[in-house]
Amino acid sequence: MMKMNQDKDCALKEALRKSSSGNLPFNFTDRMIMRINAEAEKKQKRAYVLNICILSFVSALLIGFVVFALTTFCSFNLVESLQRIKFSSDSLQIFGFYFYIAFLVLGLLGLDYWLRKLKQRL
């Protein structure tokens, strides 16, 4: 990614150098490139936030539709279903094992994410 940014910088500097007919202020091309990069980063952040918002809205809409379909067409009642659940000591041990595995998976995913971010910085 760093190599790509340097290539863009060199290309922008060359284009500005060729297009400049008069004397430009000192360090004009570097400041212009910095502004262009800042605007590109803003655009990427806006697109990221917009994608997260759209994804959240669509997910909530799908969950709402599933709940509506279950309660309307299947006569599903969540409160009654939860009251019918009985837990035994064996099932609690199995739940404990599943929570342990889920915690390990989430921890490893978090560690992977952190190490990838650390690698990108270097």
Does the structure show a pLDDT above 80 at 78? no
**In terms of pLDDT, which residue wins out, 80 or 112?**
112
Predicted model pTM:
0.48
Residue 15: per-residue pLDDT? 73
d(CA 54, CA 89): 43
Write out pLDDT tens, residues 26-71: 888 888 889 999 999 999 999 999 999 999 999 999 999 998 888 8
Percent of the chain surpassing pLDDT 70: 90
Name the residue ranges covered by the structural domains of the chain.
86-122
Taking alpha carbons only, the member of 55, 49, 17 closest to residue 33 is 17
